[in-house]
Amino acid sequence: MGKLDRRVVVITGAARGQGEQEARLFAAEGARVVLGDVLDDQGEALAKELGESTARYVHLDVSREDDWSAAVTTAKRAFGKIDGLVNNAGILRFNELVSTPLEEFQQVVQVNQVGAFLGMKTVVPELEAAGGGTVVNTASYTALTGMALLTSYAATKAAIVGMTRVAAMELAGRGIRVNAVCPGAVDTPMTNPAQLDPDVDPAEVAQAVDEVYRKLVPMGRIGRPEEVAKLALFLTSDDSSYITGQPFVIDGGWLAGVSVL
């Protein structure tokens, strides 16, 4: 018996990184997964690997309401219902506050904040129709503390924590739990774009990353996407049946403070 047997979960940003690991883990735990992303080749390949009885891929620009409606239609046609949502899709832009163009700020808001809003707005009625369910929103540890050069990103992630709390209050009576994961640095292409550069030696990249986070993080390393996936699984499964409205930090102790050693 898996922890998500017979459950149908929509996961955004599922073609790679945290979303891919969530999709793989959820499928291994018995869920049928609907993978949403704009990286069509990678998303379709992952769905094919997981198998038609387990997964479907749908092109999903999370900032577009029509795409969300299409994703819901795909999920219901393939699997009959929706029991869970993981709002994982997001983008990251580094810039000083006064140097951030309005267009860049709005782009991050559209994907990170509006995407999570539209996901909940569109999928929650389906969760209610299924008799209840779960939402896991991907925020960030920067939602709870500051970090230079991340005005737009931190603003959207703080908004996600706020929406999570409000949604949890509104939906508890309908059998729907809403929580947020707040990762610190995680070794994915979003935080480490060098992974996508074919001219860069992966071993050199890994060594450089290790050196940075050995100094910054109490646990001495960057996080792994599969570790975040396990937290998302916990919040989606019945193991967290009495938890809602909470932001869960998963950062190797980074938020705890600064080491002088």
What's the mean pLDDT in 138-148?
95
Q: Which two tokens stand for residue 105?
A: 């700020």
Mean pLDDT of the chain: 94
Other beta carbons within 10 angstroms of residue 53's beta carbon come to 8
Q: Is the pLDDT of residue 82 over 90?
A: yes
Judge contact between 4 and 233, C-beta under 8 A: yes
Nearest to 179 by CA among 237, 125, 224, 218: 237
Residue-range domain boundaries for the chain:
8-186+225-251, 189-222
Q: pLDDT tens for residues 10-43?
A: 999 999 999 999 999 999 999 999 999 999 999 9
Its pTM surpasses 0.85: yes
Q: Is the pLDDT of residue 261 over 70?
A: no
Distance (Å, whole) CA 107 – CA 242:
35
Binned at pLDDT 50, 70 and 90, residue 196 comes out as low
What is the CATH topology of the domain spanning 8-186+225-251? Rossmann fold (3.40.50)
Distance (Å, whole) CA 32 – CA 23:
9
**Where in the sequence numbering do the catalytic residues fall?**
153
**pLDDT for position 81:** 98
- Determine phi and psi for 138, rounding to 5 degrees: -95, 110
Q: Is the pLDDT of residue 206 over 80?
A: no
In one-letter notation, the amino acid at residue 29 is E
